[in-house]
Amino acid sequence: EPLPRPHLVIAFNSGIHHYGSWERTLTCILRSPLQPDFVVTAWNLTEAVVVRQILQDHGGVVIEGMDLKENEFSSLLAKEIMDDHGTCAYDNRYAIAV
C-alpha cells in the first residue's frame, strides 16, 4: 500500500554538499510524483548558496520567499568551524525551500 504524501521534508544541517550519499535521496524527494515541500538548513550563507545550487541541479524550484532565508529560529550559539578558516557558524542559520 502506498504511503500518504508527506507535507514537508526537512534536512537540518544536512551537509548535502559534502556527502555523495545524498544523491539517491535528493532524486527521490525532488523528482517524486508526491512533490513534498523540502526545506534544507545550512550553517552559513556560503554553504546555503552551494546547497541551493545542488537542489536546483536536481530539479528543485525554490519557493518564493524561502531562497537563502535567514532562519529566525536558528541557534544563537556560535561555533568555530576549524575547517572553515576559523569563521563562526550557527546551527540552522539559513534555510532554502524547494
Q: How far apart are CA 42 and CA 95, in angstroms?
A: 6
* pLDDT score for 1: 75
Give the pLDDT means over successive 10-residue stretches in the chain (98 positions).
81 87 90 85 84 92 85 66 55 66
Q: How far apart are CA 1 and CA 20, in angstroms?
A: 30
Q: What's the number of CA atoms in the CB half-sphere (13 Å) around residue 38?
A: 25
Tell me how far CA of residue 1 lies from CA of 18, 34, 88, in angstroms.
34, 15, 46
Residue listed under C-alpha cell 541557534: 75
Q: What is the pLDDT of residues 2-22, one digit of tens each?
A: 777 788 898 888 889 888 899
pTM: 0.76
Q: Which of 27, 28, 57 is nearest to 49 (CA)?
A: 57
* pLDDT score for 75: 65
